[in-house]
């Protein structure tokens, strides 16, 4: 899972219609900024009684050099308070959600974690959710079985259109938590070498 492989997957063009897509700028340690764009095929959400959400964006594609393998990208956002558009004052530094971005190819991968500002609104049927990631900042968190870190310090923004599917949300979160296990100190405890 080399850096060029991830870069090739992230540099695909965006669709013009309402989609779930992210823009990422990675502020590299050498002072360069590298820009990426990714469109996600699947986006689900689950809401709790307080109106907070778990949102999961997912995209799986064959590896360009080896179609027998695939790369899975998953973004998990968890809101911990709900902003109200037009009422809640929006600021660049506002944080209302935790964010995890995970990349996997087989049992090799990397995770990036942080927090940011996320706005969302349910459609009338309450089965669809639309929103924006105003700005989330992510740092490298864990390498799974020697996976490479694509980002040094990433800023993420974008739009999402999600469909209600609590079972899929819970299943995906549990699968990812099983792969990227941490003890209370934040040390990886799965069979991976950082």
- Residue-wise pLDDT for 94-145, tens only, equals 678 999 999 998 888 899 999 998 888 888 888 999 999 989 999 999 888 8
Rounded mean pLDDT of the chain?
81
What are φ and ψ of residue 100, in 5° steps? -125, 135
pLDDT at 68: 86
164 is a domain residue: yes
User: Is residue 49 classed as helix, strand or coil in its secondary structure?
Assistant: coil
Q: How far apart are CA 48 and CA 60, in angstroms?
A: 27
Inter-residue contact 173 to 56 (CB < 8 Å): yes
Residue 43 burial by Cβ neighbours in a 10 Å radius (0-12, 13-18, 19+): buried
Compute the average pLDDT of residues 58-83: 87
Residue 187 counted as domain residue = no
What are the tokens at 76?
């998990």
- Which residues span the domain enclosing 41? 3-179
Residue 88 in domain: yes
pLDDT of residue 2: 46
Cα separation, 25 vs 37, in Å, equals: 9
Residue 191 lies in a domain: no
pLDDT at 41 over 80: yes
The string of DSSP letters for 9-48 reads HHBPPPPSSS-EEEEEEEE-TTS-EEEEEEEESEEEEEE-
In a domain, 188, yes or no: no
Q: Are 76 and 53 in contact (CB under 8 A)?
A: no
Whole-angstrom Cα distance, residue 95 to residue 115? 6
Q: What is the pTM of this model?
A: 0.79
- pLDDT, residue 194, reads 34
Minimum mean pLDDT among 28-32, 76-80, 152-156, 176-180: which range?
176-180
Q: In this predicted structure, what is the pLDDT of residue 96?
A: 85
74 occurs within a structural domain: yes
Does residue 185 lie in a domain region?
no
Q: How many distinct structural domains can be found in the chain?
A: 1
Residue 137 lies in a domain: yes
């Amino acid at each position: 899972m080399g850096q060029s492989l991830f870069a090739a997957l992230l540099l695909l063009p965006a669709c013009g219609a309402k989609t779930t897509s992210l823009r990422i700028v990675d502020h590299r340690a050498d002072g360069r900024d590298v820009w990426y764009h990714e469109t996600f095929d699947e986006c689900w959400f689950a809401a709790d009684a307080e109106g907070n959400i778990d949102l999961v964006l997912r995209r799986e594609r064959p590896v360009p050099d080896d179609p027998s393998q695939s790369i899975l990208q998953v973004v998990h956002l968890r809101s911990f308070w709900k902003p109200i558009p037009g009422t809640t004052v929006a600021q660049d530094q506002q944080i209302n959600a935790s964010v995890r971005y995970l990349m996997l190819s087989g049992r090799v991968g990397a995770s990036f974690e942080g927090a940011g500002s996320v706005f969302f609104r349910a459609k009338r049927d309450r089965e669809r959710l639309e929103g924006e990631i105003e700005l989330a900042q992510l740092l490298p968190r864990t390498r799974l079985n020697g996976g490479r870190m694509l980002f040094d310090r990433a800023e993420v923004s974008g739009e999402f259109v999600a469909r209600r599917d609590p079972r899929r949300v819970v299943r995906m979160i549990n699968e990812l938590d099983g792969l990227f296990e941490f003890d209370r100190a934040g040390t990886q405890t799965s069979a991976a070498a950082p």
